[in-house]
Structure 1
Amino acid sequence: MNKVNNRTILIAGPTGSGKSNLAIKIAQKCKGIIINADSMQIYKQLSIVTARPSIEDEANTPHFLYGNVDANKRYSAGDWLESAKDIITFTEKLDLVTVIVGGTGLYFDSLFGSLSNIPGISDKIRKKWLGIKNDMGSSYLYQQLLQLDPAVAASLNPNDSNRIIRALEVFEETGISIQEWRRSSGDKVIPSHNSVRIFLNPNKDCLHLNIRNRTNRMLQIDCIQEIEELIKNNISDEFPIMKAIGVSQLSALIDGKFNKQEAIDSINLLTKRYAKRQLTWARKKMVDWEWIDPVDLRVENILSKIAQ
């Protein structure tokens, strides 16, 4: 067993950069555990479409926060942070290395105190605003926000119902603008000096090839059945899982609106655009991380950093 200090390894990168495989290799080398930091892999449904680690990988190495949320539930960055805190505290007591891996930048950001301490929203208030949206539409919601919190309304797209609902929920629950809450920051869960932070940055051609291969594998492992099960459950389009790349494209394939190649091309295009957004975000927020081309990656080099 590799001798390591009680530290945390953070692995980020765009979709298709090889984050999960690296996390598994590191966790196995140092007998550590893995925490998911991907906002779509938290859901029980769509394990294939969201490219979750295989059942075998999850059985061989302890994985946490994968498939732990139902599709018809909302799960915020704050919810994730609270869950991650509990696991990190547990692993520290056992002197285990924690590998946190994923592509959701806001999750990583929250570990360093970026999230405000907004209280939880009651189910009653959540259901109220979602019901109003379903009955009256996004434009009505936006008008409500304009009256209650005009400054926040002015900063939002009138068609962005998710953000509008969030602002309305926070205002009703707390009586304080979400803008005010965001000016305050939370506590740091992980001191930056006590973590190894890796950002995988493959060259563009390799990344696009990986994305195409990922989509092809997805279609080969019968992801259609996952989409059919999701459709049977009548999940509202308002829930985040319905916005996962692949859901609308494969639904269109099932309905005969797309042929197989059209679905593949659309998934590839949207995934490339998403990877580009991830990189843009990281260039602003993760400048002090170690950016590594996976081609140059050596697991032992990372382990040596942990042991320092």
Structure 2
Amino acid sequence: MGVTRRQTILIAGPTASGKSALALRFAEETGGWIVNTDSMQVYGVLDVLTARPGPDDLRQAPHFLYGHVPPSEAYSTGRWFADVEHFLKTGAAGDRPLIFVGGTGLYFRALLGGLSAMPDIPDDVRAYWRAQDAQAGAQQLHAILSEKDPQAAAVLRPTDSQRIVRALEVIDASGRSIIDWQKQAGTPLIDAASARKIVIDPDRAWLGERIALRFATMLEKGAAGEVKALLALGLPSDLPAMRAIGVGEIARMLAGTITPAQAAELSAIATRQYAKRQMTWFRNQLGDDWERIAYPGA
């Protein structure tokens, strides 16, 4: 399909920075629809733990691509791109403005630059590398990747098992580095020149306080019940939903090995580290055509 040139607003930023509230404000001002651009808020069950918009938010504006994926599935940038493309094709939003909001940089990159073509991965290749991940772990697979595809190994964190496995699948299936595949231009869904692009770049101390407060609130609002329901599904630990920040910490709390206060503190630490990585990515990857604001309420 062609690039959409309707009024479009993009709001990127780290977790807990106030993106959703800003998106709601724009939705009320413009009559627009809000489209999730965050890889964890797509999953069902974890409503509170992933800070998905609540009932009041949903009443204020239409929201799309929130909580529509079972936690038993591994959602990807490609599936998100296809879901957005289908949404645009159906014309469900009419000519209303679209407000894309979230913290997943790769989604924004795909939206504005298109999605690179990728090779089909044979089932046996996929099964092999996933079994290797389960047996050997990310660190050892990263060492293997360093030999098979130094380009990819150089840009992937040794702990990022999902992307390491993906890079190994691609090099095995095609004989080409995933980096080379990613350089092939795709077709964007949004006209970058006409879109308003905003990235929230908050003060780190301010954000740290918000993160600690938000996680304590999540526990009060039922995050532990969500994790209990997730664990009851008996899912593999390598699925993205099982690796959501707070799941492991709350699971330990439910098992009685740490206290609620310790679970909250450990989760807040992990969230701050994640927010730092997000901020670094946005600063390095988003160009000068993005408006940078410190506080969404300003």
TM-score by length of 2: 0.86
* Alignment correspondent of 1:204: 204
Q: What are the Cα deviations for residues 200-251 of structure 1, in whole angstroms up to 9, with x where unaligned?
A: 2333333222212211110101111111111111221211112211011111
Asked whether the 8 Å contact 2:10–2:99 carries over to 1, the reply is yes
| 1:100 partner letter | F
Give the Å deviation of 1:56.
3.5
* Alignment correspondent of 1:222: 222
Q: What are the Cα deviations for residues 176-221 of structure 1, in whole angstroms up to 9, with x where unaligned?
A: 3323212212122212211011112333333222212211110101
| 1:233 partner letter | L
| 1:294 partner letter | Y
1:234-273 equivalence runs, <5 A = 234-273=234-273
> Max radius of gyration: which structure?
1
1:45-84 equivalence runs, <5 A = 45-84=45-84
Give the Å deviation of 1:125.
4.8
Q: Identify if the C-alpha distance between structure 1 residues 262 and 140 changes in structure 2 by more than 3 Å, giving closer, same or farther.
A: closer
* Alignment correspondent of 1:151: 150
Task: List alignment gaps of at least 5 residues for structure 1.
Answer: 298-308
Give the Å deviation of 1:49.
0.6
1: CA distance, partners of 2:241 / 2:7: 32
Asked whether the 8 Å contact 1:142–1:153 carries over to 2, the reply is no
1:1-308 equivalence runs, <5 A = 6-91=6-91, 94-113=94-113, 115-119=115-119, 121=121, 125-134=125-134, 149-152=148-151, 154-155=153-154, 160-288=160-288, 289-294=290-295, 297=298
2: CA distance, partners of 1:40 / 1:173: 28
Q: Identify if the C-alpha distance between structure 1 residues 135 and 271 changes in structure 2 by more than 3 Å, giving closer, same or farther.
A: closer
Asked whether the 8 Å contact 2:200–2:296 carries over to 1, the reply is no
State the secondary structure of the residue aligned to 1:50: coil
Give the Å deviation of 1:154.
5.0
1: CA distance, partners of 2:178 / 2:296: 43
Equivalent pairs counted in the alignment come to 292
Q: Identify if the C-alpha distance between structure 1 residues 102 and 157 changes in structure 2 by more than 3 Å, giving closer, same or farther.
A: closer
State the secondary structure of the residue aligned to 1:15: coil
State the secondary structure of the residue aligned to 2:81: helix
Q: Which range moves more in the overlay, 7-16 or 173-182?
A: 173-182
Q: What are the Cα deviations for residues 90-147 of structure 1, in whole angstroms up to 9, with x where unaligned?
A: 4597211000000111111111216421145466654443234435655775687577
1: CA distance, partners of 2:49 / 2:239: 16
2: CA distance, partners of 1:295 / 1:151: 40
- Report percent identity of matched pairs: 38
2: CA distance, partners of 1:266 / 1:162: 23
Q: What are the Cα deviations for residues 39-72 of structure 1, in whole angstroms up to 9, with x where unaligned?
A: 1001112111110001332244221111111212
2: CA distance, partners of 1:287 / 1:273: 23
State the secondary structure of the residue aligned to 1:112: helix
Q: Identify if the C-alpha distance between structure 1 residues 200 and 215 changes in structure 2 by more than 3 Å, giving closer, same or farther.
A: same
| 2:96 partner letter | L
Asked whether the 8 Å contact 1:88–1:98 carries over to 2, the reply is no
Asked whether the 8 Å contact 1:112–1:191 carries over to 2, the reply is yes
| 1:40 partner letter | M
Q: Identify if the C-alpha distance between structure 1 residues 268 and 129 changes in structure 2 by more than 3 Å, giving closer, same or farther.
A: same
Q: Which range moves more in the overlay, 12-21 or 83-92?
A: 83-92
2: CA distance, partners of 1:77 / 1:42: 11
Q: Identify if the C-alpha distance between structure 1 residues 263 and 171 changes in structure 2 by more than 3 Å, giving closer, same or farther.
A: same
| 1:292 partner letter | I
Q: Which range moves more in the overlay, 228-237 or 156-165?
A: 156-165
Give the Å deviation of 1:256.
1.4
Asked whether the 8 Å contact 2:17–2:207 carries over to 1, the reply is yes
Quote the RMSD (CA, aligned, Å): 2.6
| 2:134 partner letter | N
